[in-house]
């Protein structure tokens, strides 16, 4: 089922189309999605990269907020 991953699962669950617990297949493998008051995403993890971001210059560059 291709439905936009986690957001799509929540939407389908609200419509009664899927159970609260389902799987999403992504390029890195299969993830479990548990939908309720909150959404819990679980599955195997692997460190891919590190990044440092200067929030002040990245988010507010050019006066955009």
Q: What are the domain boundaries of the chain?
A: 1-45
Structure tokens at 65: 């907020």
- Per-residue pLDDT at 1: 47
pTM: 0.53
User: How far apart (Å, rounded) are the C-alpha atoms in residues 60 and 9?
Assistant: 32
28-65 b/e (C-beta count within 10 Å ≥ 16 → b): eeebebebeeeeeeeeeeeeeeeeeeeeeeeeeeeeee
User: How far apart (Å, rounded) are the C-alpha atoms in residues 45 and 28?
Assistant: 9
Condensed to tens digits (0 to 9), the pLDDT of residues 14-46 reads 899 988 998 888 777 888 889 888 888 888 877
């Amino acid at each position: 089922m291709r439905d936009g991953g986690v957001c799509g699962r929540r939407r389908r669950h609200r419509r009664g189309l899927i159970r609260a617990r389902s799987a999403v297949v992504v390029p890195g493998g299969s993830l479990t999605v548990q939908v309720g008051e909150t959404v819990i995403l679980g599955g195997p993890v692997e460190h891919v990269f590190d990044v440092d971001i200067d929030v002040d210059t990245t988010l507010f560059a050019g006066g955009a907020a």
